[in-house]
């Protein structure tokens, strides 16, 4: 019994690459893996492979700060993110793995009248769509986070906040591993360290991929490569309105419990929360220039630390434990792109996850799988097609994604 409890079991099998799959998913991040998981859950006979040039979760999925929330600005964004939040509430049970999902809530702080106007608008849209989100006063903010500096008489005074109780955090690695294990158990082949170096085509039809381990034919190729989407797009000569920006974050040494919610300031481009083991997680906006570089910078550390101390002066003197960077696929309207591409058959995009994609992974994977299996676009993702950029149907989620937006 004891040996059974402590026996080491692989989360997924090692597989030899086959010469054909019904569906090849490029990218073993949380979106590629959740798509594979739901595909195999809905149709166990499909032959699906996920290929990643590195280990599973090596991209932004293993580097994010794991905040999950639904208090977006647009009806499209709110409906989509709320559906994802609902799936997160059941996900540990569904995947049979404790994802440490903890609904600690969220405060979006406003420092000016004009931000309060936007926050009020968000709160009203959210409430109309059944998402709990209320505008609260500085005193109510203080009651939730007694340690916060309301900054009366100082620059960036706190004038109110949008309070969103169902928001939470989860363990990002566990979500990646849970989807990977679930996909594997339903027959999906996972191929880490298998780089896609080309996409094969006959006329307008994609026929498969060239990989670092050889050529593979496929009935459908899905790109779920987030910050690397433009490099995949180049392989089939299409344009995607995506620029790749680095996003940095850091954690402090563990400190005694100080806050038990997530706080975000759009005007300071900074967000903070405390993990269960006491580390303060601090993140902010993307770097100022697009690049594929994963380099962390002292400049960003100083900027984020200064802002965090403005909100929580007790952090002065806290030691930084580690800082890291991931890359993000930013779209002009801060909303994702899911679906086929005009003029290219048997190919699908799942990208545009920018700085907000971790929270979206469950519903993104589920709806992408439904689209692939039925050929019908699920209502929740109808607004997120690539053509919106050519037809002027932009979603404009900037106001909701602002803490992590381009400055």
Ligand X SMILES: Cc1cc2nc3c(=O)[nH]c(=O)nc-3n(C[C@H](O)[C@H](O)[C@H](O)COP(=O)(O)OP(=O)(O)OC[C@H]3O[C@@H](n4cnc5c(N)ncnc54)[C@H](O)[C@@H]3O)c2cc1C
Site stretch for ligand X (CB under 6 A), options 5-13, 36-44, 224-232, 314-322: 224-232
**Shorter beta-carbon distance to ligand X: residue 159 or 384:** 384
Euclidean distance between CA atoms 321 and 250, whole angstroms: 8
User: Shortest gap between Cβ of 7 and ligand X (angstroms)?
Assistant: 29
**Residue 25 binds ligand X, judged by CB under 6 A:** no
**Shorter beta-carbon distance to ligand X: residue 54 or 114:** 54
Site for ligand X (CB under 6 A): which residue of 179, 353, 367, 397?
353
User: Shortest gap between Cβ of 328 and ligand X (angstroms)?
Assistant: 6
Which residues have C-beta within 8 Å of that of residue 323, sequence separation ≥ 6?
A: 248, 249, 250, 296, 301
Site for ligand X (CB under 6 A): which residue of 110, 166, 283, 284?
283
Site stretch for ligand X (CB under 6 A), options 47-55, 108-116, 200-208, 305-313: 47-55
Secondary structure of residue 51 in the 3-state scheme = strand
Site stretch for ligand X (CB under 6 A), options 52-60, 72-80, 295-303, 313-321: 52-60
**Residue 355 binds ligand X, judged by CB under 6 A:** yes
Euclidean distance between CA atoms 329 and 357, whole angstroms: 10
Bridge partners (DSSP) listed for residue 70? none
The DSSP symbol for 2 reads H
**Residue 70 binds ligand X, judged by CB under 6 A:** no
**Residue 27 binds ligand X, judged by CB under 6 A:** yes
Euclidean distance between CA atoms 79 and 382, whole angstroms: 12
* Contact positions with ligand X (CB under 6 A) in 171-200: 195-196
**Residue 164 binds ligand X, judged by CB under 6 A:** no
DSSP, residue by residue, 173-204: HHHHHHHHHHHHHTT-EEETT--EEEEEEETT
User: Shortest gap between Cβ of 86 and ligand X (angstroms)?
Assistant: 15
User: Shortest gap between Cβ of 371 and ligand X (angstroms)?
Assistant: 16
* Contact positions with ligand X (CB under 6 A) in 226-255: 226-228, 247, 249
Residues that contact ligand X, how many (by CB under 6 A): 38
User: Shortest gap between Cβ of 336 and ligand X (angstroms)?
Assistant: 9
User: Shortest gap between Cβ of 26 and ligand X (angstroms)?
Assistant: 5
As given in the structure block, the two tokens for residue 216 are 């593979």
Euclidean distance between CA atoms 353 and 66, whole angstroms: 13
Euclidean distance between CA atoms 237 and 198, whole angstroms: 11
Q: Which of 205, 265, 175, 214 is nearest to 49 (CA)?
A: 214
Euclidean distance between CA atoms 309 and 127, whole angstroms: 32
**Residue 59 binds ligand X, judged by CB under 6 A:** yes
Secondary structure of residue 332 in the 3-state scheme = coil
Site for ligand X (CB under 6 A): which residue of 21, 40, 48, 53?
53
**Residue 35 binds ligand X, judged by CB under 6 A:** no
Region of residue 170 (left: phi > 0; alpha: psi -120 to 50; beta: else): beta
How many residues does the structure list for the chain? 407
**Residue 65 binds ligand X, judged by CB under 6 A:** yes
The values of phi and psi at residue 366, to 5°, are -65, -45
**Residue 400 binds ligand X, judged by CB under 6 A:** no
**Shorter beta-carbon distance to ligand X: residue 28 or 182:** 28
- Under 8 Å between Cβ of 262 and 169: yes
Which residues of this protein are in contact with ligand X, per CB under 6 A?
Answer: 26-32, 51-54, 58-61, 63-67, 195-196, 224-228, 247, 249, 283, 326, 328, 353, 355-359
């Amino acid at each position: 019994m004891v040996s059974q409890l402590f026996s080491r079991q692989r989360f997924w099998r090692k597989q030899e690459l086959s010469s054909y799959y019904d569906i090849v998913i490029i990218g073993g991040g949380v979106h590629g893996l959740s798509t594979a998981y739901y595909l195999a859950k809905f149709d166990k006979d499909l032959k699906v492979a996920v290929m990643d040039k590195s280990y599973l979760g090596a991209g932004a999925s293993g580097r994010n700060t794991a905040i999950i929330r639904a208090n977006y600005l647009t009806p499209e964004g709110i409906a989509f993110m709320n559906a994802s939040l609902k799936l997160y509430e059941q996900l540990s049970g569904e995947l049979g793995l404790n994802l440490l999902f903890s609904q600690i809530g969220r405060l979006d702080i406003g420092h000016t009248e004009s931000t309060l106007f936007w926050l009020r608008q968000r709160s009203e849209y959210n409430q109309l769509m059944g998402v709990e989100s209320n505008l609260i006063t500085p005193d109510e903010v203080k009651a939730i986070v007694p340690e916060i500096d309301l900054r009366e008489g100082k620059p960036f005074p706190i004038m109110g906040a949008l309070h969103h109780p169902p928001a939470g955090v989860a363990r990002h690695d566990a979500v990646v591993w849970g989807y990977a294990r679930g996909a594997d158990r339903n027959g999906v082949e996972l191929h880490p360290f298998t780089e896609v170096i080309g996409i094969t085509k006959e006329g307008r039809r994609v026929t498969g991929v060239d990989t670092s381990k050889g050529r593979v034919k496929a009935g459908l190729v899905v790109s779920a490569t987030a910050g690397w989407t433009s490099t995949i797009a180049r392989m089939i000569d299409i344009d995607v309105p995506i620029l790749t920006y680095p996003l940095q974050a850091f954690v402090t040494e563990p400190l005694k419990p100080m806050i038990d919610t997530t706080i975000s300031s759009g005007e300071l481009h900074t967000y903070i929360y405390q993990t269960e083991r006491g580390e303060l997680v601090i993140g902010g906006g993307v770097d100022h220039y697009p690049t594929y570089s994963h380099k962390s910078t002292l400049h960003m550390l100083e900027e984020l630390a200064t802002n965090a101390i403005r909100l929580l002066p007790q952090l002065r003197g806290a030691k930084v434990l580690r800082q890291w960077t991931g890359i993000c696929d930013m779209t002009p309207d801060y909303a994702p792109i899911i679906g086929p591409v005009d003029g290219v058959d048997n190919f699908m995009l799942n990208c545009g996850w920018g700085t907000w994609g971790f929270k979206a992974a469950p519903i993104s994977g589920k709806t992408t799988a439904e689209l692939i299996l039925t050929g019908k676009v699920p209502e929740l993702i109808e607004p997120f097609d690539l053509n919106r950029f050519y037809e002027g149907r932009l979603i404009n989620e900037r106001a909701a994604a602002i803490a992590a937006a381009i400055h």
